[in-house]
Amino acid sequence: MGLTALHLFALLLLSEGIGIHVVKGSCENTEFQCANGQCIDKDWRCDGTKDCTDDSDELNCPPPSCSSQEFKCVTSGECISLGFVCDGEDDCLDGSDEQRACGDRTCSSDQFTCQEGQCVPAKYRCDRVKDCVDNSDENNCQYPPCTERTCANGACYNNSQHCNGLQDCRDGSDESNCTNQHCPIHQYQCANGFCVPLSFVCDHWDDCGDNSDEEGCVYQSCRGDEFTCSSGRCIPQRWVCDEFNDCGDYSDEKGCDSNSRDCYPGEWGCPGSTVCITLDKVCDGKPDCPEGTDETNSTAQQTCGLQRCSALSCEYLCHSSPQGGVCYCPDGFIVANDSRSCVDYNDCQIWGICDQLCEDRPGNHHCSCADGYFLEQGHICKANVSDGLPQLIFTNGGDVMMADIHGRFARTLVPSQGRGYAVGVAYHWHSSTVFWSDTYTQKVYSANYNGGDVKEVLTAAVKSVQNLAVDWLNFKLYVLEAMVERIDVCDFSGENRITLVAENLQSPHGLALDPTVGYMFFTDMGIATEQVKLERAYMDGSSRVELVKSRLGIPAGITVDIVTKRVYWSDIHFDTVETVTYNGLDRKIVLNGGTQAPYPFGIATFENHVFFTDWTKMGVMKANRFKENNPGADLSYCKTTRPCCRLPLCPSTCCH
């Protein structure tokens, strides 16, 4: 069957209730007739998605007119906000927004300009830590001798800063070998002062961040119900071939059947593996699959060629493969179980194919955005920043700080209260109020957006408030108290405080809210491995549901995306950032392994990015949550513990 017949068959088969059909006469008044006679919904004409099989619905479309507050991309003519010009990110497909009038872009007076243009805080210049991606902040330095104490990386600090409970050395060595014990009895105190569960000591994972939990270990062999990774780590046997890189080196996913997962359109399943690669990489002379199974292997008697194509009688086309040929289909279709015919695929199942909203269409799909966002490049949703660039609010262990989402113009919003240790942070958009907890003074504070009008909100029963969250619809503050293992809620003034959750919590940590649907999400680090979980409840604490119970290490930060109805969390044991739907389904790994997220802690999302604090890199990191990343390329260096977004139009994604 030829390609034309393929399209006719697929479109006729899926015509009912979709609004597409092929006729010889004219189309209905509510339809647009393609050049080949096909009828589609009139609203699909010139909407940026090619719905006609001959693409005629996107021909002769009027070019978009840009306002005075927008920039017109050179090649596509697309309009983007002026706030996105010269911001370090390519918002135009041709990158023209970063090539025009950006030559005079400079860093602020309190920042150092790296040779390649990156801006980092001026105090990071010659501090023995390489912050610039080109290491230029540590070039031509004359390091002075230390008069009091020396960090492990060679930097200097004062005697008063040694073992004071605050991390003054960027490598945490000022808190190493301290005699004061502050971890609970069921946890291990690392040399840098961090606390980790006892079960994580000598397990082949650097949970402390300084490897002190793995020093002097005599590792035991894995049990019979466990799998031994190439690194020696032990994981449950049920985690093998589950499409997750649990070992960190993919050794638990080698030798798996690629049929255990569905490959996306245009992909080919690697034999003996769960990995899928794009079809153009098959038999291209370069090994892309594990063990090179996508190329000729004379030992295995596999030779790239097309000798099987005539027998396959592919409905569309045949591509060379080590097995002698494989059928493939046009975009939007996949090969059916008969290995030759093509069937429509729901493109919206593809992770990240649209940033926010996706509508599946026969052989295609259409992306759209929620109110307050506009579509860019056909699938990216960018916020309307006409009222100002969104800001990140975070703590550096003492002060509450602020910077824009590109890591520029970092400033202290509220200085630490004495020897304070700011931990949890939250923000209420409507009243421009910042909230934060201090585990040293054992209080919860508030201030206005400019850092003024500092108030004590809570002063009793707040010994270790690890997280705060704001209900922006009902003007309520949610408080997670780790020491007494409970979640409370109160007014912004601290009054009318009640306890919502106080049972079946071992070591609660992360907290996030979605008031639009009345959900509260929280993580529990547990005491034993089987007690670690991510839960959902109504915002009054009722109807608790365990969303995730398996394959969790130490779930720390948590945040929500109210548009896509997904919850994201960081795991500082497995060094991952992961996500599931509000119902605990469709689990995805966003970042995986020490190279991408060495020690992810606090977390927030905005647009198609995830922002997270990393204790190893001592900075706020930014990465695209839909693509394979190297977050270091988009590093926003601000010594920090936990981030929070101040977003002019979308308070729902803030401050978790």
Instruction: Give per-residue pLDDT as tens, 373-418.
Output: 888 888 889 888 776 778 888 887 778 888 877 776 777 888 876 6
What is the predicted pLDDT for the residue at 515? 93
Instruction: Over range 54-59, report the average pLDDT.
Output: 80
Q: In the structure encoding, which two tokens stand for residue 499, read together?
A: 């306890």
Q: What secondary structure does DSSP assign to 382-409, as a single string?
A: EE--TT---EEEEE-SSSEEEEETTS-S
Identify which has the larger pLDDT, 380 or 197: 380
CA distance 111 to 164: 28
pLDDT in the model for residue 64: 66
Domain boundaries, the chain: 267-344, 349-383
Range 425-431 average pLDDT: 89
Q: How large is the average pLDDT for residues 516-532?
A: 85
Give yes or no for residue 182 having a pLDDT over 80.
Answer: no
Tokens of 573: 């044991």
What token pair was written down for 210?
Answer: 């300084």
Ordered DSSP codes for 217-260: --PPPPPTTEEE-TTS-EEEGGGTTSSS--SSSSGGGBT--GGG
What pLDDT, on the 0 to 100 scale, is given for residue 531?
Answer: 82
Reported as a single tens digit per residue, the pLDDT across 479-497 is 999 888 899 999 999 999 9
Residue 649 has a pLDDT of 34
In DSSP terms, 190 is beta-bridged to none
pLDDT at 314 exceeding the cut of 80: yes
648 has pLDDT over 60: no
Class of 349-383 per CATH? Answer: mainly beta
Over the stretch 137-162, which tens digit does the pLDDT of each residue have? 889 999 888 999 998 888 888 888 88
Asked if the model's pLDDT at residue 109 lies above 80, the reply is: no
Other C-beta atoms lying within 10 Å of the C-beta of residue 330: 16
Of the options 3.20.20.70, 2.10.25.10, 3.40.50.300, 1.10.150.20, the CATH number for the domain spanning 267-344: 2.10.25.10
- Taking CA 559 as the corner, what is the angle to CA 554 and CA 560, rounded to the nearest 5 degrees? 135
Q: Residues 67-77: what's their mean pLDDT?
A: 74
Q: With bands split at pLDDT 50, 70 and 90, how would you rate the model's confidence at 656?
A: very low
Using pLDDT thresholds of 50, 70 and 90, give the confidence band for residue 116: low
* Least reliable range by pLDDT among 244-258, 347-361, 443-457: 244-258
pLDDT at 7 over 70: no
Query: What is the Cα–Cα distance from 442 to 461, expressed in whole angstroms?
Result: 8
Give the residue, 538 or 617, on which the prediction is more confident: 538
Q: What integer is the mean pLDDT of 201-220?
A: 82
pLDDT of residue 488: 94
Per-residue pLDDT band at 632 (split at 50, 70, 90): very low
> Do 267-344 and 349-383 fold alike per CATH?
yes
Percentage of residues of the chain with pLDDT beyond 70: 81
Position 435 scores a pLDDT of 93
The pLDDT of 94-120, averaged and rounded, is 68
The pLDDT score that the predictor gives to residue 8 is 26
Mean pLDDT across the chain, nearest whole number? 79
Q: Does 9 score more than 90 pLDDT?
A: no
C-alpha 248, offset from chain centre: 18
Question: Do residues 81 and 69 make contact, with C-beta atoms less than 8 angstroms apart?
Answer: yes
474 burial class (0-12, 13-18, 19+ CB within 10 angstroms)?
A: exposed
Q: How confident is the model at residue 103 (pLDDT cuts 50, 70, 90)?
A: low
Query: Which pLDDT value is given to residue 642?
Result: 43
pLDDT at 434 over 60: yes
Q: Return the pLDDT at 536.
A: 96
466-475, pLDDT tens digit by residue?
A: 899 999 999 9
Is residue 529 classed as helix, strand or coil in its secondary structure? helix
Instruction: Write down the pLDDT at residue 651.
Output: 34
Q: How confident is the model at residue 187 (pLDDT cuts 50, 70, 90)?
A: confident
- More confidently predicted of 243 and 200: 200
| pLDDT tens figures, 254-284 | 766 655 456 888 888 888 777 788 899 999 9
Nearest CA-CA partner of 427 in 468, 397, 461, 399? 468
